[in-house]
Amino acid sequence: MTSLWLADRTQPPWTASHLDDGSHSAEIIVVGAGITGLMTAVLLARAGKEVMVVEARSVGACATGNTTAKISLLQGTHLSKALPRHGKELARAYVDGNREGQGWIVEHCRSRGIAVQHEDAYTYAQSAKGVPSARLELKACQAVGLPVEWADDADVPFPYHGGVRLPNQAQFDPMEFLDSLAAELLDRGGRLVERTRVRRVSSRGSKVQVQVNDAAQRDIELEAGTLILATGIPILDRGGYFARVKPSRSYCLAFKVPGDITRPMMISTDSPTRSVRYAPVSDGELLIVGGAGHTVGRKKSPAKALDELSSWTRNHFPGAEQTHFWSAQDYTPIDHLPYVGPILPNSETIYIATGFNKWGMTNGAAAALALTGRILGGRMDWSRAFASWSPHELTGLLTAMQANLEVGFDMAKGWITPVARIGRRSPGPDEGGVVSGLPWQLEARSRVDGTEHRVSPVCPHLGGIVNWNDADQAWECPLHGSRFAPDGTLLEGPATRDLTASH
């Protein structure tokens, strides 16, 4: 399960740093080597700051390397949801930030010879039921000044009942972009340390202590004046961001298709979601189809929705042959606007960036610009739409209450449901994973490719009970989206530790 962007990846055109090679301190430490982390680090390094980037896995291993990589200001039905909550001025500020992020990426790629495809973007209705949502998005886009138009036809081989069209948007291979950022960071004297996971953060005076575990499983303490958490969801519980965003997982399939491939970037308003784009490859082009999204850890069988997505593709693109399959995780904020800035009000030592709502290419770039501006003392008027603490979040309180009631329900359900499985047959070969046992001795057991693993199902973040994802073959916590490999190895947070071995 490797994305098109990460598959067949050879040695990158840069060499990662090692903690043994230099000081364990830096003026600024950035945690996370995706688009937000690396772009922020480069912007700060350009300003003469001493920067170290710490990545738990490898560059682009999480969201950025597993995205559809659409660099678009037309973002599904996002604006028609945000506009009624926040008004025209704040919605326009959000678009302005995304536009500036988009422009930065495109110009960076142009100046470095990185390929970018410019295509029209569509938010469209698959059926008559989806038309009202598409019409609402049209009005919202027009209200904030986007040059959209209604298109009755889009020349696509799948059901299309009209949609919003925004010309001249962009798409690319995100790993080429990240590689260019990593190379520039290192050329400017910054450091980039991979396979080093942050376990704990504490403050001591004006300094921040960052406890990490490196590739050699050594516990090392790093020190910085400023810490930036560009980790998708903040790995610290300060500020309660785990309760202010909802984790979602979605899936992508790449296909070799005989004949013509749909040119524009498409995303549907009605369910099940269909996201479509093409991607140039060495021997032609591939079709990328995304969808089958669900709240992390709460879908009984993601594999069934994935099979349906694959069948849809083969039905509308006869002869399509699947070449790649991957998935990604993102976070929906309770009030539909991202959280970028200090982790706590009036604190200027630890910063966060989260809540990109599956539009991380433009939002991630905007977040990097906003963070850098704040740290360097600059000002961007549109950044108020990205504030980590703002009165505008009051509009999301009802959503937050509902989401956290669901979390409480899933917490109780996770501890109670395994009791009902006592006495049933344990999972055998090729049956995936299951949690069973009494509450005081729960066990998560899985079998993948003939190898069996037994671990504790208790998520080390806040004690949720993990569920099995049969599409990704991974354990997922339904509370706040932490994910683990079959053997319990942590894949992504807010947890910072593995599942423990079963006793």
- pLDDT at residue number 342: 94
The CA distance from 107 to 429, in Å, is: 51
Same domain, 326 and 376: no
Domain count, the chain: 3
Q: What is the DSSP string of 360-427?
A: HHHHHHHHHHHHHHHHHT---GGGGGGBSS-GGGGGGHHHHHHHHHHHHHHHHHHHHGGGGGTTSPPP
Q: Which of 381, 396, 411 is a domain's end point?
A: 396
Both tokens of 385, joined, read 């739409």
Same domain, 134 and 278: yes
- Closest Cα partner for 179 from 327, 4, 60? 60
Same domain, 165 and 280: yes
Same domain, 434 and 476: yes
Do the domain assignments include residue 73?
Answer: no
Both tokens of 190, joined, read 């910054």
Burial of 110 per CB tally in 10 Å (0-12, 13-18, 19+): exposed
Same domain, 252 and 306: yes
Same domain, 484 and 407: yes
Do the domain assignments include residue 75?
Answer: no
Domain containing residue 439: CATH number? 2.102.10.10
The CA distance from 55 to 41, in Å, is: 12
Tell how far CA 416 is from the center of its chain.
Answer: 31
The size of the chain, in residues, is 503
Same domain, 266 and 159: yes
The CA distance from 185 to 371, in Å, is: 17
The CA distance from 446 to 211, in Å, is: 31
- pLDDT at residue number 427: 46
- pLDDT at residue number 366: 98
Going residue by residue through the chain, which has 503 residues, state the pLDDT in tens, using 9 for 90 and above.
799 999 988 888 899 998 887 779 999 999 999 999 999 999 999 999 999 999 999 999 999 999 999 999 999 999 999 999 999 999 999 999 999 999 999 999 999 999 999 999 999 999 999 999 999 999 999 999 999 999 999 999 999 999 999 999 999 999 999 999 999 999 999 999 999 999 999 988 889 999 999 888 899 999 999 999 999 999 888 888 888 899 999 999 999 999 889 999 999 999 999 999 999 999 999 999 999 999 888 888 999 999 999 999 999 999 999 999 999 999 999 889 999 999 998 888 999 999 999 999 999 999 999 999 999 998 899 999 999 987 655 555 555 455 555 555 454 555 555 554 544 554 443 578 988 877 767 889 999 988 999 999 999 998 889 999 999 999 999 988 999 999 999 999 889 999 998 76
Same domain, 284 and 313: yes
Distances (CA, A) of 192 to 17, 47, 57, 184: 5, 17, 12, 11
Show the 3-state SS of 173-239: CHHHHHHHHHHHHHHCCCEEECCCEEEEEEEECCEEEEEEECCCCCEEEEEEEEEEECCCCCCCCCC
* Contacts made by residues 280-286, CB under 8 angstroms, sequence distance 24+: 280/115, 280/117, 281/4, 284/256, 285/261, 286/4, 286/254, 286/255, 286/256, 286/257, 286/261, 286/323, 286/324
Domain containing residue 39: CATH number? 3.50.50.60
Of all helices (H) and strands (E), which one includes residue 86? helix 78-112
Spell 233-267 as b/e; 16+ CB within 10 A means b.
Answer: bbbbeebebbbbbbbbbbbbbbbbbeeebbbbbbb
Residues 6+ apart with CB under 8 A from 128: 161
Name the residue type at position 151: A
The CA distance from 30 to 47, in Å, is: 15
The CA distance from 366 to 372, in Å, is: 10
Same domain, 143 and 159: yes
Both tokens of 209, joined, read 């202590």
282: left (phi over 0), alpha (psi -120 to 50) or beta: alpha
- pLDDT at residue number 11: 83
The reported pTM is 0.92
Residues 6+ apart with CB under 8 A from 68: 171, 252, 275, 277, 288, 290
Domain containing residue 286: CATH number? 3.30.9.10
Number of H helices, E strands in the chain: 7, 24
In sequence order, what are the beta bridge partners of 321?
256
- Closest Cα partner for 137 from 127, 151, 124, 119? 124
Do the domain assignments include residue 429?
Answer: yes
Distances (CA, A) of 107 to 42, 101, 170, 179, 264: 15, 10, 12, 16, 21
Q: Which of 298, 314, 333 is a domain's end point?
A: 333
The CA distance from 95 to 93, in Å, is: 5
- pLDDT at residue number 242: 81
Do the domain assignments include residue 111?
Answer: no
Same domain, 229 and 198: yes
The CA distance from 445 to 442, in Å, is: 10
Do the domain assignments include residue 97?
Answer: no
Q: Which of 351, 374, 396 is a domain's end point?
A: 396
Do the domain assignments include residue 71?
Answer: no
The CA distance from 470 to 426, in Å, is: 16
Q: Which domain holds residue 126?
A: 117-169+245-333
Do the domain assignments include residue 106?
Answer: no
Same domain, 308 and 256: yes
Helix (H, G, I), strand (E, B) or coil at 449: coil
Same domain, 258 and 362: no
Do the domain assignments include residue 93?
Answer: no
Distances (CA, A) of 330 to 30, 212, 296, 318: 19, 24, 10, 31
